[in-house]
Structure 1
Amino acid sequence: MAGKFEIFADAVGKFRWRLKAGNGEIIAQSQAYESKESAKKGIASVQTNAAGAAIVETTTT
């Protein structure tokens, strides 16, 4: 099964999204948005920008 985005209202009534893997595990969660439409725009931004995003190592060994 493919992953999916879920939009939900948090405890204070703001909207958030979470990205679930095909096995149901949450692999990412958003900040709080004032509106459901803003949360949808956040999802669209991730869908557009994540595919080509660089991986940047910030830890030191």
Structure 2
Amino acid sequence: MRQRSSYPKSFKAQVVQECLQPGATISGVAISHGQLLILKDAPALSVGSRNDSHRRHLARH
């Protein structure tokens, strides 16, 4: 089985900030960093449900 990648906290913070930009999508940011995003919980991450509280949650984690 393949080992999960580990990324520095600074990189994770950068990615979160990119996701918080107006018009940004999580999948778009992932692709810009060369990653394929597999969404197991797609409805929870859809554009229509990504509100301010969800963005604040992402920023904390």
Instruction: Give the TM-score normalised by structure 1.
Output: 0.30
Give the structure with the higher percent helix.
Answer: 2
Instruction: Give the TM-score normalised by structure 2.
Output: 0.30
**Rg larger for:** 1
